[in-house]
Structure 1
Amino acid sequence: MLNEQIAKDVGPAHLDIAWEQLGDPKHPTVLLVMGLAAQLVNWPLGFLRALVARELHVVRFDNRDSGHSTHMRDAPTPDLPAALKGDLSSASYTFSDMAADAVGLLDALKIDAAHVVGASMGGAIAQTIALEHPTRVRSLTTMMSTTGDMSVGQAHPETMKALFGGTPVRTREEVVARAVRHLAVVGSPAFPADLASVAEIAGLAYDRDYDEVAIARQAVASVASGDRTPRLRTLDVPTLVLHGLADTLCDPSGGRATAAAIPGAELVLIDGMGHNLPPGLWERIADHIAAIVRKGEARAAGTAPRRLESR
């Protein structure tokens, strides 16, 4: 853990947002947005250090309904099966709200604009930040994510069965064991993970927060946020789309569709990478992010981020 802090009264929803930083604040800021059922601790410290080594200032935070940030405990009971059938009445928020939380954190930290990097659901939130708060985004990196179009980026049936077909877990030991077991399903076959580190992070996340209902609220928010494809075509910001070709939790078609939708986006597909950030890829991914940051910084030095007309 780094020096965790809590920003109070953040964004339009006036939430508490837990955050940490690493690196020199005088360097370009990279805002890391994590995904469903994940916390700021799920960004590996080794990956953060790889970014900092490239003269970047890194900020990671807990989304609403995760970790030490505000949990929406008074919200309606989430009904994911109903949401998937089109009944969104149990949705208590969308990615627009979560994007506003992230921008509110930038306000609290007095950061005018950042290079926004999102993983999985965090990629969708990062896209939404760029769409709805374009002057706050100098570059966009969306990793192992998709557009919201339900015809792309879906989990493979066998992966869904393996992840969600077992007996519910409750204890710390069960949750840690599940994290290690799930990694065998969604991890990167060509890049071994440090299983001890995976277990340690899972235990740390459990100690910080274990809220299965909050995870369901985030899942319903994902469905309720809809397809961003038409709006993504209006973006004009340096963009990196990175996806593993062995990703069975978010099929690579999601990454391809994202890159196809965003004008000028750079698509990087990595053989043997699944739905995680294994140590063997930290340096390579950090290089790609640093390159898109340089493009964003060059753009910012000349003209402000702008939007194209819808087409």
Structure 2
Amino acid sequence: MARIKANGIEIEYETAGSKSDPALLLIMGLGGQLTIWPDAFFEGLAKQGFYVIRYDNRDTGLSTDFGSWGVPNLMEAFGKLMSGRKLEAPYVLNDMAADAAGLLDALGLERAHIVGVSMGGMIAQIVAAQYPERTRSLISVMSTSGRPGLPQGKPEALAMLSAQPEGPSREQRVAHGMKVRRAIAGAGYPIPEPEVRAFVEKNVDRRWYPEGGARQYLAIMASGDRVEMLKGIKVPTLVLHGEDDPLLPVECGRDVARLVPAAKIETFPGWGHDLPGGFLPTLTDRIVGFCDGK
């Protein structure tokens, strides 16, 4: 892994494949470190002829954090949002999209396929809309337009966004992380417990930083929806969504596909809001097939 200065912050990133191949930028979701992207997926895309970049978003992992801003009161912020008052946030999703474009600049890459999951899909949508000359294609995965009135996720899954471990020990953090993974998984792709534990332990040990995720959640709330922005996207767009997504129901993905002109969409039974090993071959196949030749 390496670190580079871009858009006024330091970004931790990793690459796979040959720089002479088409670039493919992976943007992770809320509070997720670059290591949430499975190695097999990351390296598999490189083997299919792409120069793949994954990175820690600001306030996540080993990239610049905004700890001096403090931990936001999300309930208070939600109340302000509901009453139409302006939210104060250290950054918004547009800033995170500028980070992605800045990372491409710093790496000397003119254009890339932009793949984002969940909040990363929101950021990818903004990159495609505001930096079309940098975007070969947009792949919005398990994401949303943010349109008010879209179906809400299951309460038990939504509760995981703000839930905390029972205590500060490593084991309590790991147990909490495993609980989160189970809450957002789809019924069609169960993951063996030892595999979930190893995955969570790796990420807990790399960096435990939930306050960064809270500020990212505040950024989502402060950014508003992307309905009008999506209508103006002109790059080739693919929407992928699980029909068993308990966090952002499949209708959220369908809304994105309806808004983006000529967008293609594919939904998958049994897939939730995660990247399970059993689904990775399908995900890789759809992304490679869509990006080839663009």
TM-score, normalised relative to structure 1: 0.88
Output the CA distance in 1 between the equivalents of 2:239 and 2:36: 20
1:266 matches 2:264: yes
Return the letter of the residue paired with 2:220: S
SS of 1:70's equivalent?
coil
- Count matched residues: 290
Output the CA distance in 1 between the equivalents of 2:252 and 2:229: 16
1:79 matches 2:73: yes
Partner of 2:104: 106
Partner of 2:229: 231
SS of 1:74's equivalent?
helix
Return the letter of the residue paired with 1:5: A
Partner of 2:274: 276
1:23 matches 2:23: no
Output the CA distance in 1 between the equivalents of 2:23 and 2:197: 29
Give the CA deviation at 1:195: 3.4
The answer (yes or no) to whether the contact 2:144–2:253 under 8 Å persists in 1 is yes
Return the letter of the residue paired with 1:248: P
Matches within 5 A, 1:68-147: 68-75=62-69, 77-85=71-79, 86=81, 87-147=85-145
Give the CA deviation at 1:159: 2.4
Partner of 1:181: 179
Q: 1:76 to 1:185 in 2, by over 3 A?
A: closer
Output the CA distance in 2 between the equivalents of 1:27 and 1:246: 34
Output the CA distance in 2 between the equivalents of 1:148 and 1:175: 30
Output the CA distance in 2 between the equivalents of 1:222 and 1:58: 26
Return the letter of the residue paired with 2:190: P
Partner of 2:200: 202
Identity of aligned residues (%): 37
Kindly report the root-mean-square deviation, in angstroms, between the aligned alpha carbons of the 2 structures: 1.7
SS of 2:14's equivalent?
strand
The answer (yes or no) to whether the contact 2:164–2:176 under 8 Å persists in 1 is no
The answer (yes or no) to whether the contact 1:77–1:90 under 8 Å persists in 2 is no
Output the CA distance in 1 between the equivalents of 2:219 and 2:16: 30
1:56 matches 2:45: no
Gaps of 5+ in 1: 298-311
Give the CA deviation at 1:198: 2.8
The answer (yes or no) to whether the contact 2:165–2:176 under 8 Å persists in 1 is no
Output the CA distance in 2 between the equivalents of 1:163 and 1:16: 26
Partner of 1:243: 241
Partner of 1:303: none
Deviations 1:254-309 (A, max 9, x none): 101000000111111000000111111111111111122125x2xxxxxxxxxxxx
Gaps of 5+ in 2: none
Q: 1:158 to 1:74 in 2, by over 3 A?
A: closer
Give the CA deviation at 1:74: 2.1
Counterpart among 172, 187, 190 of residue 188 in structure 2:
190
Give the CA deviation at 1:166: 6.6
The answer (yes or no) to whether the contact 1:144–1:242 under 8 Å persists in 2 is yes
Q: 1:153 to 1:98 in 2, by over 3 A?
A: farther
Give the CA deviation at 1:76: 5.2
Give the CA deviation at 1:69: 0.1
The answer (yes or no) to whether the contact 2:166–2:172 under 8 Å persists in 1 is no
Partner of 1:212: 210
Q: 1:151 to 1:168 in 2, by over 3 A?
A: farther
Deviations 1:55-108 (A, max 9, x none): 111100000000000001222542222322224433111010000011111111
Output the CA distance in 2 between the equivalents of 1:58 and 1:198: 24
Return the letter of the residue paired with 2:94: S
SS of 2:129's equivalent?
helix
Output the CA distance in 2 between the equivalents of 1:165 and 1:91: 21
